[in-house]
Structure 1
Amino acid sequence: MTTLSERPVLDIVSDRNAFAAHQEKNLSAAVIEEMQRKINEAGVEYVYYMLPTIGSRVIAKMVPANHFKRNLEKGIAFHRTALADLQTDRFGNLIGGGIEAKEFVGLPDPETFAPLPWDTSVARVFCSAYEPPHLNEVGGRPLATDSRSLLKRAHAAFTERTGMEVRSGCEPEMTWTGPGMEVIKKPGSSPAYQVENLERMREVFKKLVTYSKALGLDMIEGDYEDDGQLELNWMYDRVELTADRLVTYRQICKQVARELGVHASFMPKPYTGSMGNGCHHNISLWKGDTNLLIDEGRVELHLSDIGRYAVGGMLEHAAGSMSIMASTVNSYKRFWDAGQFAPSAVNWGLDSRACMVRISSNGRMEYRLPDASVNPYLSHTLLIAAMEDGINKQTDPGKPLDDQVRGSAEPKFKPLPLTLGDAIDSLSADPYILNALPEQLGDIYTALKNDEWARYCGAVTDWDRAMYWETLP
């Protein structure tokens, strides 16, 4: 079996015929007819042509809907650095190629077209990014910095090599503040699950569920978890669909906040002493209708050998993946605030929220490192790579953590980095994981995160003043 580390990364972005094949598919009579039908039925007048950035924001151009045929063929042009959030470094240099960087072309993926339920005169469609066809040598290739296309290709290649499909369900948590969002709780207790707090959030979750269902999310449950923190979940699916739905859900949350005059934040750690906003990834491996993680004959952990090896790969590459799973300076506050349900050790176990990987009795691996700021396309790409490595090498995950003992697992794997600076170093120190990303994407991501860490290290905060203004020497 060919392993990821044996393949040149360029394989996932080297197809110069990719643009033409996508274009030909877009221009089929059936696609054009279906797009026209959807536009007419909803009365769509404007379309957002959207792409997620490396930092998991969304960029878009608006085009009047009557030009949809032209856009199916020609796509939409963006400046190349838009996928790096048009971020400058501390010295004013535009990360990702500078002002002189060439444009790229986003070709729409018609199956993602959907009117926005809060204003059906506007629709959205996700795009896949390509090198402009006229460029010598690289023209027509998938753009290396398009994380959404990267996940689709990585998953397809994994399935081709292994015959397995990866499915995922995310648990996005976020914090809401504003009029009517005040928390009801007794001193020393948690407000989690209290119906009174859910009632205070009723207008929020009603709109969230309504809009989410209209945009194709099969909403299944939700609860109030901590001060102002709401978690709503939808049904699991193939990883690329789950990633698109998470990006869509974030857009919905921001819209609902605007409509209700409140604030919605995916900041990973809003308050000291309260739970951070996580985004646990619940992963399972399938062949057809068979979940390969379940071993019906095994009582302890109910986990098959393939599942154990996949967990082993997750644990082995946890440190190297950390800067993707916890992508901001603030992300690491989750791991320092003891007792707040964020894993700080590389371990696994059955139904234990003290573990980094929690094995559910219904056959899923809950990977608990990612937080609410995560780029789901990058996180799932790295999880696929880590699991495949574990399966190929039959990596033993070691003994599961005792449910009652936090952090007692044997130090079999590298410890988690607990600052963004250390996490960047850990990514560079794991060539296998780094190789799961196209070189250009990895370089830009590292540059973005190094700059973020440097800005933080150079900032004078309220904590500095409280600690040192009156107390030194």
Structure 2
Amino acid sequence: MTTDVLPTDLDEHRERNTADAAVRELAGRIAEAGVECVYYQVVTLTGRIVGKVAPAARLVRNLENGVQLHPALLTDARVGRTGAMLGAGAAAAECTAMPDLDSFGILPWDTRTAFFFCDLYESGHRPEGVAGRPLAADVRAHLRRVHGGFTARTGLELRSGLELETTWLVPGLEAVGHDDLASTIYHLDHMERYRPVYRKIIAYGQALGFEMTEGNCDDPGQLELNWMFDRAEVTADRLVLHRQICRQVARETGATVSFMPKRATAGLGNGCHHNLSLWRGEHNVLVDPGLTELHLTETGRHALGGILSHTAAATAVMGPTVNSYKRFADEGHFAPLRVDWGMDDKTCAVRVPAIGRLEFKPPDAMVNPYLSHAVLIAAIEDGLTGRTEPGPPEDAGSGTPADRFAALPKTLGEALELLARDRVVTGALGPELTALYTALKADEWERFCCSVTDWEHAMYGQGGC
């Protein structure tokens, strides 16, 4: 008597990848472009792109079998303070990275090189019940699962547009000080100084299918170059690709690019505002067609209420570094200072800058967009389910009560404590991702707490008691 073995998720992915039409189309595109090598890439918990490269001649084999990766890569192969590798040790089984055919692209700066984003699965040689199932720490596939479940339950889709700010140091350009009387914000003469940088970024983005929109300069050397909003998964892919483009442009121009959230005490931070809308089909449910002034529909109010209810706990994801919390602490620099909402006040956690759009301001330039969107989807659904009211906008006169929502945490350590207590946020990540992310970030916080900084030397290093 034999027992039929059901196909695993890995088996089903292999079947999709080896469909004759799909293989022929990809092989044709690769041959036409003259592609010689292909990157098989995944995204780590910290938002880095890692993976393997293989000759294009191995396309068919790799579409069927994928490539093998050690799961420690998902925590950047970080070794904790105790000496143990975080997430997976030397004896851990490798996982299988299967190309996502829809993600295929060709590098515009070297058209002989192409890439796929990959989905991660437990290796086929693992025990039955484990073999072939999706890897829980695969942040990109995790967002797709979270968003799919949300859509199945609510009929809604989250679309987003991101405003990534970056700081550039370009050889040959004299520094513009923060103490100059004239601000560099939106100043076209200052923008012109960085023309070799922004022209390449825009061109490479367009070549990869981004609909580039507008951009500006803020602080000295700080650029913000935006692209059109889209479904959350597409936008998340584009953010990590945009950062990859920036690093390539830095190599080509001899510049240095930084995504550090707060590079100088007196300067603006590098944020990554998430502009959010909810769609049922092609209708934005945050828009009431009968009204034209700034407003929120009932669905919009409840979505906003859910976001605000979980903003404090979500900050561990939105501000993922020790440095992130310096951005929230500096008054007068347009970063969010408190958990409330408003129309024009740039210091609110959420702004309604236009009809049908919520601007969520806590995320910074080092955010992992797959995790941030997964958490926002869960917070929105919680608000819709509980019909959470956000209260009046801050700039409506009376203001949102100061104690209505938990305050923004002041440090990464405090943020991790809030994260652990919020079941909606941890539920959005799932138990395995929560444990792995928390371990990674707790180790980062502990290392900082044990480090002696320049500030301490300046404050305490001269003289005695």
TM more than 0.5:
yes
Structure-to-structure mapping, 1:52-451, within 5 angstroms = 52-136=43-127, 137-184=129-176, 187-298=180-291, 301-402=294-395, 409-451=401-443
Identify the residue that residue 460 of structure 2 maps to in structure 1: 468
Percent identity for Structure 1 against Structure 2:
49
Measured after TM superposition, the shift of residue 408 of structure 1 is 6.4
* Residue 35 (1) aligns with residue 26 (2): yes
1:402 is paired with a residue whose SS is: helix
1:184 CA displacement: 4.8
Tell me, yes or no, if the aligned pair for 1:16 and 1:138 is still in contact at 8 Å: no
Secondary structure of 1:107's counterpart equals strand
What is the CA distance between 1:404 and its match in structure 2?
A: 8.7
Alpha-carbon deviation of 1:144? 0.2
CA contact (8 A) 1:182 1:228 kept: no
Structure-2 separation of matches of 1:336 and 1:227 = 20
Equivalent position amino acid for 1:100 in 2? A
| Count of aligned pairs | 458
Work out the CA distance in 2 between the residues paired with 1:231 and 1:426: 31
- Compute the displacement of 1:48 (Å): 0.6
SS of residue matched to 1:222 = strand
Q: Can you list the C-alpha shifts for 1:316-344, whole angstroms capped at 9, x where unaligned?
A: 00111110000000001101111111112
Equivalent position SS for 2:111 = strand
Q: Which moved more, 1:313-322 or 1:463-472?
A: 463-472
Q: Secondary structure at the match of 2:235?
A: helix
Q: Distance in 2 between matches of 1:327 and 1:16?
A: 38
- How big is the shift at 1:355? 1.2
Conserved 8 A contact 2:217-2:223: yes
Question: Within 2, Cα distance between the matches of 1:66 and 1:280?
Answer: 41
Query: What's 2:3 paired with?
Result: none
What is the CA-CA distance between 1:36 and the residue it aligns to?
A: 0.5
Whole-Å separation in 2 of the counterparts to 1:168 and 1:392: 21
Deviation at 1:18, TM superposition (A): 1.6
Return the alpha-carbon distance in structure 2 between the equivalents of residues 199 and 190 of structure 1.
15
Q: SS state of the match for residue 435, structure 1?
A: helix
> For 2:393 and 2:164, how far apart are their aligned partners in 1?
26
- Runs of 4 or more, structure 1, over 6 Å off, are none
Question: How far apart are the structure 2 equivalents of 1:16 and 1:380?
Answer: 30
- Counterpart of 1:46 (choices 18, 37, 50) is 37
- 1:398 and 1:410 in contact (8 A); partners too: no
Q: Any idea what the Cα deviations from partners look like across 1:124-179, whole Å, max 9, x if unmatched? A: 11001111122112111110000000001111111111001110000000000031
RMSD between aligned residues? 1.6
CA deviations over 1:88-119 (Å, ceiling 9, x no partner): 10122100021111111110011211111111
Partner AA of 2:230 in structure 1: D
Give the structure 2 partner of residue 8 of structure 1: none
Q: Given residue 292 of structure 1, which amino acid in structure 2 is its aligned partner?
A: V
By how many angstroms is 1:427 displaced?
0.3
Residues 222-275 of structure 1: CA distance to partner in whole angstroms, max 9, x if unpaired?
101111100000000000000000000000000000000010011111111110
**Could you tell which deviates more after superposition, 256-265 or 131-140?**
131-140
Q: CA deviation digits over 1:394-428, x for unaligned, max 9?
A: 001111111799x8643201111110000000000
SS at match of 1:187: coil
Q: 2: CA distance between counterparts of 1:403 and 1:178?
A: 43
Residues 196-223 of structure 1, C-alpha deviations (whole Å, 9 max, x = no match)? 1111110101100111111111101110
Amino acid at match of 1:111: D
CA distance in 1 between partners of 2:292 and 2:106 (Å): 47
Cα deviations by residue, 1:287-333 (Å, 9 ceiling, x for unpaired): 11111001244566421000000000000001111100000000011
Tell me the secondary structure at the aligned position of residue 395 of structure 2.
coil
Q: CA deviation at 1:34?
A: 1.1
Structure 1 Cα separation of the partners of residues 392 and 293 of structure 2: 12
Other structure's SS at 1:120 match: coil
Shift of 1:187: 2.2
Q: Distance in 2 between matches of 1:190 and 1:426?
A: 37
| Residue 450 of structure 2 corresponds to residue 452 of structure 1 | no
Question: Structure 2 CA distance, aligned partners of 1:409 and 1:207?
Answer: 46
Length-normalised TM-score, structure 1? 0.94
Paired with 1:259 and 1:404, the residues of 2 have a C-alpha distance of 51
Query: What is the TM-score normalised by the length of structure 2?
Result: 0.96
Note if contact 1:180-1:200 (Cα within 8 Å) is conserved in structure 2: no
- Name the CA distance, whole Å, in 1 between partners of 2:181 and 2:143: 43
Distance 1:455 1:16 in 2: 44
Task: Tell me, in whole angstroms, the C-alpha distance in 1 between the residues paired with 2:446 and 2:7.
Answer: 38
Give the whole-Å Cα distance in 2 for the aligned partners of 1:16 and 1:423: 41
